[in-house]
Amino acid sequence: MDGAIDPRRDMASMEAEFILNDLILVERKLQRLSDELKRGGVGRDKAQIERELALFERINDLLNQEIPLRNETFSEEEEKMMSSYGFLSRKPQVVVINQSEEQETVEIESLYANTTVVSIPAKLEMDIAQLPPDEAAIFLEEYGIQEPSLNRFIRLSYDLLGLQSFFTAGEKEVHAWTVSRGANAPEAAGVIHSDMQKGFIRAEVVSYTDLITLGGFAEARNQGKLRLEGKKYIVQDGDVIEIRFNL
């Protein structure tokens, strides 16, 4: 951005660009809906067109007040009406403030929902990332960096998107899978393969922490930490799962 360094100004300017882009989409949609109503809604239910018109007029009002859409909540029906529009001001965002290692950490609270602001000494962390793990750990401790920023970004991104990871493990490999929070066991199986969801029978589940602490599946089973779960089981972050299915 132009002028002196001002993260708050730059964030507001970026958000204004998002809002302007969304306004252009909404104005075009409103014009199409208005024309469709004038033609009598040929091929479509008139009441449905009127509901869409009301929604996009509401969105238009919000954007004209410079309110990003991520600050607003919408009903399930409204979500469906908006599903084909990738509104930029509605997307979750992580704002990264780059600072030098000499600067104090900049703490800025976001004015917007589903927005996280973080500050990092990017040049320093880039240099540390190129070091061997043991040397990198020493430098991280010396500069008071509790964990690499890449780890933070992954965690923050998952939090903003409502995602979590579960694992499948065999003799040859361990695989991490991404699933929405609140997903049940069959939905998690479907992430691996659609056939596994269709033929889901049950899941053997153990938490990553218990598996590592106890040293393996055999001891986890002996200690009662390896459980059989059915279709209603809600997958937890860090679960290690073996899916039983049949087609």
The Cα–Cα gap between 50 and 178 comes to 38
How far, in whole angstroms, is CA 233 from its chain's centroid?
22
Residue 1 has pLDDT above 50, yes or no: no
Mean pLDDT of the chain: 88
Query: DSSP characters for 150-219?
Result: HHHHHHHHHHHHTEEEEEEE-SS-EEEEEEETT-BHHHHHHHH-HHHHHTEEEEEEEEHHHHHHHTSHHH
Class of the CATH domain delimited by 163-245: alpha beta
pLDDT of residue 189: 96
CB atoms within 10 A of CB 98: 12
- Rounded to an integer, the average pLDDT of 183-202 is 96
Residue 142 has pLDDT above 90, yes or no: no
Q: Give 203's strand partners.
A: 229, 243
117 or 191, which is more confident? 191
Residue 124 has pLDDT above 90, yes or no: no
pLDDT band for 88, please (50, 70, 90 cuts): very high
pLDDT band for 141, please (50, 70, 90 cuts): confident
Pick the CATH number of 7-90 from 3.30.1450.10, 1.10.8.50, 1.10.150.300, 1.10.150.670: 1.10.150.300
Residue 2 has pLDDT above 70, yes or no: no
The percent of residues in the chain predicted with pLDDT above 90, rounded, is: 53
Triad 230, 236, 239: Cα angle to 5°:
85
Residue 212 has pLDDT above 90, yes or no: yes
**Tokens found for residue 11:** 């964030």
Residue 41 has pLDDT above 70, yes or no: no
pLDDT tens figures, 146-155: 888 888 888 8
Residue 107 has pLDDT above 80, yes or no: no
Residue 27 has pLDDT above 90, yes or no: yes
Taking the domains of the chain in order of start, what are their residue ranges?
A: 7-90, 93-160, 163-245
Q: Which of 43-47, 52-56, 100-104 has the lowest average pLDDT?
A: 100-104
Residue 82 has pLDDT above 60, yes or no: yes
